[in-house]
Every structure is written in structure tokens, then in C-alpha cells.
Amino acid sequence: MDKNIKQDILDILKKSQEITKEGKTVLIDQISEIFDQYKEPVSKLLWVPINTILPNGYNPNKMATPEKHLLLRSMLDHGITLPLVVSAKQQQHYMLIDGYHRWNLIKKSKVLQHRLDHKVPVVILDLPKTERIVATIQHNRARGKHQIGEIGKVVKTLSANGWSSSKIMEALGMDADEVLRLKQFKGLGELYKDGDYSQSWR
């Protein structure tokens, strides 16, 4: 790379605090295109203040205390290796989709807060609420243990938003029996409400 061009790029980046959020988004898009980056969310990683991120109220993934200590130790020793996944910014805040335990541990760690300058890496998924709920489950279903009461609430929410049992099965990676058991949290009267349930699911 020509030395003058390289210096020009460095000078622009040094002034990045003067660039608007919209300008930064455009710049990231252009850099991704120039360097032939894949058109994936992770190609547009941003660092945002941790206090602009809010937890969602539907994450059924629970982590035991020993695993929390291990996760914290890993971040302290090896750094942040995975970005948080958040929704598009609304009313000055992002809503967490994936990464609750990392976000929570960073918020509580003075060492990490200081080291990261109170910021965290994020990638943004611009999705409607029901799709955000599904994305949360898809991201963490295989990584942790879901509490049946919490995952039941998720199934209830999706069902209340018009999702059929077969669509819930496909989106959350469940079988028919699991969906039916979880729908019991809605009450036995609604258990067989969906007309798309049949023995052919088995």
C-alpha cells in the first residue's frame, strides 16, 4: 500500500469521533466492500457503550456458578472473543439477543470495564420482536440448559403471535412432543388448538 494512502486512512480513522453514527455505518460498509468481506453481520462489528444495552425478558438460558466463574476467567485471560448480538438501536438502547452472560459479567467486572473503556463489541440483527426471540433460542439452545418454565413462555409468546406448532418446531429445533409439553403452560384447554398437529410429525 502506498505510504501516503495509508497515512490518509490513518488520519481519517483518528478523526472517527467526529464522524456521525450514520457516517460510520457507511464507512464500515465501504471498507467491507473494498476488502471483499462477506456480507455477514460479523463483518460490521461495532463497539458500543455497555450501558446502552438492555437485557431481554425472554432468555431461558441459565448458567451455573462454576461456568460463570470459568467464563469470567476466560474473558480476563484471553480477552473478548465473541461479540454480543443485539437488535437495532431504538430510543438510545440496544436489546440483547445473544450474549447475556458475557454482558452481565462484563458489567460486574471493574477490571473488564476499565480494560474495555466501558464498551463491548456487538453485531446488530434488525429483526421484529418475535424473530428476535427465535434468534435468542437458536443462538443458545445448544450451548446451555433452558429452564422449562422460561422456554414455555417463549413458546406461548410465539403461539400468541400466530406461530403454528410446526413453525415453532422448525425455528426452535424441537420435536412435536416437546412443543406439546411446553404448550401445557398455556393451559390444557388450548393444548390441541393447532390444526397442524398430527401423528405424521413423529
Range of the domain at 125: 24-35+42-146
Examine the fold and report which residue of 146, 163, 182 is the final residue of a domain before the chain moves on: 146
Q: Are 132 and 163 part of one and the same domain?
A: no
Asked whether residue 30 is assigned to any structural domain, the reply reads: yes
Asked whether residue 59 is assigned to any structural domain, the reply reads: yes
CA 32 to chain centre: 22
Q: Cβ(139)–Cβ(85) under 8 Å? A: yes
pLDDT of residue 94: 95
Asked whether residue 16 is assigned to any structural domain, the reply reads: no
Confidence band for 200, pLDDT divided at 50, 70 and 90: very low
Confidence band for 187, pLDDT divided at 50, 70 and 90: low
- Number of domain units in the chain: 2
- How many angstroms separate the CA atoms of 139 and 127, rounded? 14
Examine the fold and report which residue of 115, 130, 146 is the final residue of a domain before the chain moves on: 146
Q: Nearest-CA neighbor of 118 among 127, 128, 106, 130?
A: 106
Q: Are 54 and 140 part of one and the same domain?
A: yes
The CATH number of the domain holding residue 125 is 3.90.1530.10
Question: Which residues touch 35 (CB under 8 Å, ≥6 apart)?
Answer: none
Q: Nearest-CA neighbor of 53 among 81, 90, 82?
A: 90
Q: Nearest-CA neighbor of 124 among 49, 32, 47?
A: 47
Examine the fold and report which residue of 119, 146, 173 is the final residue of a domain before the chain moves on: 146
- How many angstroms separate the CA atoms of 158 and 124, rounded? 22
Q: How large is the average pLDDT for residues 145-172?
A: 78
Q: Are 142 and 66 part of one and the same domain?
A: yes
Q: Are 53 and 120 part of one and the same domain?
A: yes
- How many angstroms separate the CA atoms of 157 and 21, rounded? 33
pLDDT in tens, 44-57: 888 999 999 999 87
Q: How large is the average pLDDT for residues 141-165?
A: 74
Q: Are 137 and 179 part of one and the same domain?
A: no
- How crowded is residue 20: how many other Cβ atoms within 10 Å of its Cβ? 8
